[in-house]
Amino acid sequence: MSGYATWDNLFVGDSTRDLKAQYGMVLVRDWNAAATSLASYSPFDPVTGNLSPTLLTTDGWYNPGYLDATGVVFTPKFTVVDDDAWQTRQALRTDVTLDQEEMTFVPKEQSPLVDALRFQDALSSLQEQGAAGYQLTKSTRPSLANRQILAIGVDYNTGQPEYFAFEYAMARMVKPDKISFDAKNTTASGLTFDSYVCPYSGFAVRFFREGPAWRASGGNTTVPGNPTAATGTATGTVTLTFTPPTSANGPFTYQVNTVTPTAGAVPAANVTITSATSSQVVLTVGALTSSTSYTFTVQATGANDSQSVPSAVSSAAAAK
């Protein structure tokens, strides 16, 4: 019977996208104006999608260690106000009056780092763990220390790591929880940080998704359509026209390979995207030998770094 569809024909679900932050960590460092701008910063390696190996070295982050089993709790502070009118019981407009994020975590490990976070002291002058005569004196003129925070979660639902992270470009510890001295409870105590706009980073909060599992979730890049070659308009050029991949992991970059007269990869510097739409891509291949006939293949790479197989061999065209 035609003319209708049942819900199970229309429903599309993916159980691998039901994620948990099974493990994770919080990293902190002092905010230091332009020197710690996060405008173009990512905690992830751009090639592999895994965590950057420089996080705890040249990047200058500190790790407070174990957190309690609640992990990190993110609480949006979001409020709106309605503008009402006498003649209707529905609002005429609604405007945001507060849009801020805060996070709370409970460090399990007692250390000079955790003490400095609670006492609003600089992390750049931490005392040594186990130092003789260790003491901290609470200031009689309290002020809020500016920090930067990375809260990173990881899931292995598909057997590979998938990361998600909140980055606070400027943060202040606004609520230390109580500490208990008793035989039943540890002395762990929660710390709550609010986010603020960093004038050097240009934002308050940034969210990331990365990792091999995240990239794989975009699917494999499908092969581009068969390229049609034509003599270019500039000396030593050929144009290639083809349909882009149909997979949903764009935008795509393209690798061009010569098949004849000799096989090899064309340097990326010699390939330009002349135009690109959802139905057609035109590449210009340069630095070719004039009047020589060439054939090519094209490979596409998706936004998740998945590379297609080479396309069919193009038609032949002579470089101008």
* Cα-Cα end-to-end distance for the chain: 58
- Number of helices and strands (H, E) in the chain? 3, 15
Domain boundaries, the chain: 15-216, 219-318
Residues 148, 36 contacting (CB under 8 angstroms):
yes
What are the b/e assignments for 173-184, b being 16+ CB within 10 Å? beeeeeeeeeee
Averaged pLDDT, 167-185: 96
The whole-model pTM stands at 0.77
Higher per-residue pLDDT: 88 or 47? 88
Superfamily of domain 219-318: Immunoglobulins (2.60.40.10)
State pLDDT tens for residues 92-141: 999 999 999 999 999 999 999 999 999 999 999 999 999 999 999 998 99
52-68 per-position pLDDT tens digit: 999 999 999 999 999 99
Assess whether pLDDT exceeds 60 at residue 1. no
b/e per residue 59-70 (b: at least 16 CB within 10 A): ebbbebeebeee
Strand-pair partners of 209:
164
Predicted pLDDT of residue 161: 94
Handedness of CA 240, 242, 245, 250 (dihedral sign): positive
